[in-house]
Amino acid sequence: MARGTLRVYLGAAPGVGKTYKMLEEGRRRLERGTDVVVGFVETHARPATAAMLDGLEVLPRKDVAYRGSTFTEMDVDAVVARRPEVALVDELAHTNIPGSGHEKRWQDIERLLDAGIDVLTTVNVQHLESLNDVVEGITGVPQRETVPDAVVRRAEQIELVDMTPEALRRRMAHGNIYKPEKIDAALGNYFRVGNLTALRELALLWLADKVDDQLDQYRADHGIDKKWETRERVVVALTGGPEGDTLIRRAARVAARTKAADLLAVHIVRGDGLAGADPANLTRQRLLVESLGGTYHQVLGADVPKALLDFARGVNATQLVLGASRRGRLAQILSPGVGVTTTAESGAIDVHLVTHEEARRFAFRARRPGGLDLRRRLAGLLLAVAGLPLLTLVLAQFREDMVLPSEILAYLVLAVAAALVGGLLPALLCAIGGFLLLNWFFTPPVNRFTIAERENVFALVAFVFVSVAVATVVDRAARRARDAARASAEAQTLSTLAGSVLHGDNPLEALLERVRESFGLTCVTLLERDAEPAPWRVAASVGGDVPCMSPAEGETEVPVEENVALVLRGHALPAEARRLVEAFAAHAAIALRQRRLSEQAAAAGTLAEVDQLRTALLSAVSHDLRTPLASAKAAVGSLRSPDVHFSDEDQAELLATAEESLDKLTRLVENLLDMSRLQAGALALALEPVDLADALPRAADDLDAAVPISVPPELPPVRADPALLERILVNLLANALRYSPPGRPPALGASAHAGRVEIRVVDHGPGLPAADHDRVFQPFQRLGDRDNSTGVGLGLALSRGLAEAMGGTLTPEPTPGGGLTMTLTLPRA
C-alpha cells in the first residue's frame, strides 16, 4: 500500500486562517470528486471557520476519560476504518489526553499516512521544536506543545498562510479570533506588532530553508550542476595566512550589497594534510567570519582549485573571493597558481582576486627550513669533503683497469650516499667536486680541464643531473616526513584540546590546563586589560600558586588580541611549538569572550527581572494600596466629622466599609510579605498531615462562598502547612469566583493518584488561552482584567510559590465545556 501524502498549512500566529485554508482546500477537492472527511477540526467558535464545515463529512470524536472528566479526541481507528482519500486533521502539535493511544497528534497522522490516507493539517511556527526557545525569548511565553521539525519537513507540501501584523490585529479587534473578554489582553501581550512581525519573519525564514532543501534535492535528483542564482552566496577562500582578515571583510562587504546574501568561508585542507596553514590564523578568522554572520567550512581535497570550485558549486555560490598570489614571478610562470586556475575554470561563478599587503612580500618570506637536522647535514658535508679525495685516491690506483663509466658510477654512489645522509647541499658538493675530479684525473686528456670525446661530456653531465635529482628527492621527502609528523602531533593535540574543553564545566580553565600539560609548563595565565596603559588583570590561570601578573613575569608571551595575552612560565617555548600555542591562545580568547558574554547576559537578565518586578509592583500597588486606604480614611473621616450626624445604621455601614478596606489592605500586605519571603528563601514551613475534608470547607467559609465540595471519604491526608494550604485555596477560590458567570459557581474537588493528592478548583468562566498558562503565575499580572480594582495579581503567583515550597505543584488546564481548572497536587502524608 502506497503511503499517503502530507500537506501542512504553516502560520506565524493563531488566527491567520490556517484552518480556514485547510477546509477551503478540502471543499475544493470534494467538489472535484475526492473522498474527503474531517478527522478533527477545532473552529474555536469562529463563525467563518464553522461555516466551512457545511457539506463536509465530519467523523465523530472519541470520548476519553481522564481524572474524573471526559474529553474528546480524534478517533484514529474510525478514520482508518472509513478509509477516505483525504482526511482533514487540525492542530498538528496537539498533545492528546492520556489514554488516547498516541501521545501526540502528529503520531496519529503518521498512522493515517501509513494507511495510505492523504492528510491536510495545520501548525503554527511557535510549535516547531527548533524554534521553541526563540519564540519564548521573543514573546515571553513558553510553548508546551511542540512538534519535531523533521515531521513537518517530511511533508510533501508546506503552504504558508500569511497575514500582516496590522491585518491580524484588526481581525482580533473585530472579534474574529478570540472572545471579546480576551481581546484587550491578547492585543497588549502576545499579539503586539513586534511579536507578530518577529514570528512572521521566523515562519518565512524557516520555510525558505525548506525550499532551499527542496531545490538542492531537485538539482541532485536531476544531475544539475549549473549554478542557479536563487540567492546571492559569497564564498571566501582562506589559506590560513595573515591576509585572511582582509579577504573576509571584503567578502562581507560584497555580501552586504545584497539583502539576505549568505557569507561562507572555506579552507581547503590538502589530501596529505601538509598545507602548512597556521591554526591560530584559521581560528581567529573563523571567529571573524561568524561575528559577521557567516559560516566557516573545511574541505579535504588534493587539487585545491577543483575542491574549491566543487564546494562553491555545491552551495550554489554566485561569487568567489580569492587573495592575490603571494608567490614570486618565476613561480607564477612555471605554474599558474590557484587564483588563475580557479578563475579559468569557474564558469558562471564570479571570481574576485583581492590584492593585499602580503601579496607584495613574497620576496621577503623566510625560507622553510630543510627536512634534515643540523647534525645530519654536517655529517653529509663531512662525507663529501672526506669521501671525494679518498675515492679519487682509490680510483687512481686502478686507472689502467677501469673505464670512465665505472668511475662515474663510483662518484655517483658517493653523491647518493651524501644526499641520503645530509640532503641537498652535500650532494651538490659531491656532484660539482666529482665532476671536476673526473674531468682532471680520468677523462682524456687527463690533468687538463678539457674533454676530448662527446660521449664523456654527456656522461659527466648526466652524473651531475642524477646527483642533484636524488638529493632533491631525499631533501623533499625528509621535509614532508617532518611536516607530516608535526601535522599529526598538532592534530592530535588540538583534538585532545577540543575533547577536554567540550567535556569540562569550565572550558577556559580546561583549555589552559591542556596547554600547561602539553608543553610541560608550571603556570599558564591569560591576562586582559581594558586598554593600554591600564594594568593587566588575571582572566584565568592554572598551575603554580602565584599567577603571572604581567607578560614580563613569564618566559613566553603570546599576544592574542590587542588587550589579551597568554603568558607561559616554566621554560622558554621552542620555536616550532609557538604556532600550536598560538592556536591554543586563539581558542582561549574565544572561551574568554563567551564567559564575558555569559556573565553580562546573566547580569542583564537579573537586572531586567528586578526592574520588571519593581515596575510592575509600583504600577499595581500604587492603585491597589491607595484604594482600600482611601475607602477606610473616607469612612473614618465621615464618622469623625462634627458637621454630620449619622444614624446607627449608617454608622454601622461606615464601620463595615472601614473594616473591609483594612482587611483588603492586610491581605495585600501579607501577600507582599509572603512573596518577598518566598523569593528570599526565608519562608518558614510547619508541615503536618492535613485532612482535606476540613481544609476545603474552611477556605470556602473564609470567602463566604457557597460552592459545591467533593471529597471522597477514603481520601488520605496531605502533608502540608495548614495555614499556607488555606491561603492557597482561598486565593484559587477567589480567582475562580471572580470569573465565574452568575448561576454557575466554581467547584472544589479532590482525589488521590499514584501516591499524591490532587485538589481541583473548577470554574466555568471565559477560560485562559494555552499561551497564557505560564504567564498567569507571574507576579503583578491580571490577564484579561479591565480594571485595577481586583488586587495586584499576587494571588496565583503566591499560590504556586507556596505549593512548590511544600513539595507540590499548581497547574492550569481547560475545563471541559469552557472555563479553567486549577489543579493543586500535594504529597500524601
| Residue-wise pLDDT tens digits, 145-176 | 889 988 998 899 999 999 898 988 888 888 88
Among residues 514, 527, 525, the alpha carbon closest in space to that of 580 is found at 514
Compute the average pLDDT of residues 576-599. Answer: 77
The whole-angstrom separation of Cα 569 and Cα 578 is 14
**Most trustworthy range by pLDDT among 149-163, 244-258, 778-792:** 149-163
| Single-letter amino acid code for the residue at 611 | D
> Is pLDDT at 138 greater than 60 in this prediction?
yes
Which of 151-160, 224-233, 286-295, 810-819 is predicted with the least confidence, judged by mean pLDDT?
224-233
Long-range contacts of 75-83 (CB under 8 A, 24+ apart): 75/39, 76/39, 76/101, 76/102, 76/108, 76/111, 76/112, 79/37, 79/39, 79/112, 79/117, 80/111, 80/112, 80/115, 80/117, 82/37, 83/115, 83/116, 83/117
What is the pLDDT at residue 261? 80
Q: What is the pLDDT of residue 783?
A: 43
User: Residue 534: what pLDDT?
Assistant: 82
- Higher pLDDT pick, 400 / 35: 35
822 closest CA partner among 755, 741, 742, 737? 737
CA distance 266 to 289: 10
Residues 6 or more apart whose CB falls under 8 angstroms from that of 371 comprise 423, 475, 476, 477, 478, 479, 480, 481, 482
Residue 364 or residue 182, greater confidence: 182
Mean per-residue pLDDT, 311-323 = 87
Task: Categorize the per-residue pLDDT at 497 as very low, low, confident or very high, splitting at 50, 70 and 90.
Answer: low
Instruction: Evaluate the CA torsion angle 662, 664, 670, 672 in order and state its sign.
Output: negative
Euclidean distance between CA atoms 412 and 406, whole angstroms: 10
Q: Is the pLDDT of residue 777 over 50?
A: yes
Q: What is the pLDDT of residues 48-80, one digit of tens each?
A: 889 999 999 999 999 988 888 888 999 999 999
Average pLDDT over residues 299-305: 81
Strand partners, 538: 527
Distance separating alpha carbons of residues 817 and 210, to the nearest angstrom: 39
Amino acid 104: pLDDT: 92
Query: What's the whole-model pTM score?
Result: 0.40
The mean pLDDT of the chain is 80
Say if residue 271's pLDDT is above 70.
no
Write the pLDDT tens digit of every residue in 682-702. 566 778 999 998 888 888 887
Q: Residues 12, 200: contact at Cβ < 8 Å?
A: yes
Percent of the chain beyond pLDDT 90?
Answer: 16
- The residue ranking higher by pLDDT, 229 or 526, is 526
633 neighbors 654 (Cβ within 8 angstroms): no
Residue 677's Cβ-side half-sphere holds a number of Cα atoms within 13 Å equal to: 13
Reported as a pLDDT band with limits 50, 70 and 90, residue 611 is low
Grid cell 493515517 in the structure block, residue: 112
Between the ranges 41-55, 220-234, 351-365, where is the mean pLDDT highest? 41-55
Q: Average pLDDT, stretch 409-422?
A: 83
Scored b (16 or more CB within 10 A) or e, 743-774 reads: eebbbbbbeeeeeebbbbbbbbbbbbbbbbbb
Length of the chain: 829
Average confidence (pLDDT) over 218-236: 67
Q: What is the pLDDT of residue 223?
A: 64
